[in-house]
Structure 1
Amino acid sequence: MEPTASFFFDFRISDLWFLAEAAWRTLLISTLSITIGTALGVVFGWMLFEGRWAAVLILGPLLDVFRSVPLIIQLVLFYNFAPIIGLILDPFLSGVVILSIYCAALVANVARGGMEAVSPSMRRAARSLGMSYWQDLRYVVLPIGTRAVFPSWVGVALGVMKDSALVSVLGYVELLKASQILITRTQEPLLILTIAGAFYFALSYPISRYAASLEKRWAS
C-alpha cells in the first residue's frame, strides 16, 4: 500500500481578518509617526538651514544619533528606560514616539535640502517686493523647496511605514507580529508572508501612485 502524504493546513478566514486588523494598526502607527515626524523634521530642517549655533552644535549631532543607531535598538532602549524617568507608555505610544523622532531626523535633512534649493537671488527678489521673512518662507521657500525634495520625502515616508514592523519587538501586534503569530500556529509561512506582503503593497502602492501623479501635476 502506497504511503499517503498529509499536509498541515489550518488557515481560516478569521485569520485573514486578523491580518487585516493588523494592517490597519500598521497604517495607524505609520500615519501618526509620519505626520508628527514630518512636522518636527521641517522645523528641525529650518533650524539647520538657518545655521544657528545651537542647531549646529546640539541639534545636528543629536539627529545624527537617531539616523545612525539602528531603529530596533532605539525602540528597545526607549521602551525599557522610559519608566525610569516616569513615562509609562504602552508599545503603541512608545513606537509612535521613536518612529516620529526617527522620521524627523530623516526629514530634517530633506527639508534643509529643499530650503537650500531656493536660490538666494529669488529670496532677495521676494524681500525686495516687500515680503517679510516669514512671508518669504511661506510663499517662496516652502513651495519651491517642497517640489524639489518631494520624491525624497515620499521615500522617507514609505521607509518609515516598512520600519514600523520593528515595533513588533515591543509586543505591538502590527502586520509582521500578526504574521508571526499565525505562522507559529499554522506552520504555513509561505502563505501567510505572501498575504502580509500583499497588505504592505496595498498600503504603499497608493502613496507611490499619488506621489507620482502629484509630481506630474506640478511639472505641467
Structure 2
Amino acid sequence: MSEPISFFSGFQVNDLVFLGEAAGRTLLISAVSITIGTIFGIFFGWSLQASKWLAQTTIGTILDIFRSVPLIIQLILFYNFFPIIGWNTGPFAAGAVVLSIYTAALVANVVRGGIEAVGIPMRRAARSLGMSYWQDLRYVVWPIGLRAVFPSWVGVALSVIKDSALVSVLGYMELLRASQILITRTQEPFIILACAGAFYFALSYPLSKYSQKLEESWTS
C-alpha cells in the first residue's frame, strides 16, 4: 500500500533565503517611495507655507485625501485605474507610485511644520542682514527646521517601511506576501511570522539607530 501524499512540508533553510529575497524587495520599494515622496513632500510643504490660501485649496485638499483614505484602498483603486488610462504597469510600479504620493502627503505637513518652527523675528533679522528669500531658506530656515522635524520624518520613513506590506494585495512579492505563501505551504505560522518580524526589525532598526546618533551629533 502506497504512503499518503503530503502537500505540506516543514520550514527549511531555502525558505529563509526566500524571505530574505522578499525583504530585499521590501527595502527596494520602501527606499524608492521614501526618496521620491520626501522630494515631493519638501516641495509641497514649502508651497503650503509660502502660499497658504492658494496651496491649501489645491495641493492641501489633494494631500488631505491621500492622508485620510486608507492606504490599502488607494493601492487597489490606483492599480485598477492605471490600465483604464492606458498605463499597463506592474505591482512594483503601481505600489511605488501610491506609496510615494502617500509619503509626500505625510512629509508635506512635516516640512511645513519645520518651516513654521523658525520664528518670524529670526527670519526678519536674516532679511535685514541682506539675505535674499532663498538665502534665508538655505542658511536659516533649513538648518533650524531640519533639527525640529527630523524625528518626525524618521517616523514617517519607518511607517512607510511597514506600510509597504500592503502592496502584497497587488501581487508584489514582498515580505508579507512571501510569508503568506510559506505559511500556506508549511502550516507553521509562528516560525514564519517570527522570521518576517525579524526581517522588518533588521530593515527598520539601522535607520532608527542612525537617526538617533545623528540627532545626538547635532546637539553635542
TM bucket, shorter chain = over 0.9
Matched residue type, 1:216: E
Which residue number in structure 2 is paired with residue 189 of structure 1?
A: 189
Which residue number in structure 1 is paired with residue 31 of structure 2?
A: 31
How much has 1:52 moved relative to structure 2? 4.4
How much has 1:11 moved relative to structure 2? 1.1
Q: Contact 2:117/2:145 (CA < 8 Å) preserved in 1?
A: yes
Gaps (5+ residues) in structure 1? Answer: 1-7
Alignment of 1:1-220 (within 5 A): 10-220=10-220
How much has 1:178 moved relative to structure 2? 0.3
Q: Give me the whole-angstrom Cα distance separating, in 2, the residues matched to 1:52 and 1:120.
A: 16
TM-score (norm 1): 0.95
How much has 1:54 moved relative to structure 2? 2.9
Q: Give me the whole-angstrom Cα distance separating, in 1, the residues matched to 2:53 and 2:85.
A: 29
Q: Give me the whole-angstrom Cα distance separating, in 1, the residues matched to 2:168 and 2:138.
A: 39
Matched residue type, 1:55: A
Which residue number in structure 2 is paired with residue 5 of structure 1?
A: none
Gaps (5+ residues) in structure 2? Answer: 1-7
- Cα RMSD over matched residues? 1.0
Structure 1 runs of 4+ off > 4 angstroms? none
| 21-30 vs 45-54, greater mean Cα deviation | 45-54
% identical aligned pairs:
71
Q: Give me the whole-angstrom Cα distance separating, in 2, the residues matched to 1:52 and 1:116.
A: 12
TM-score (norm 2): 0.95
Q: Give me the whole-angstrom Cα distance separating, in 1, the residues matched to 2:198 and 2:214.
A: 24
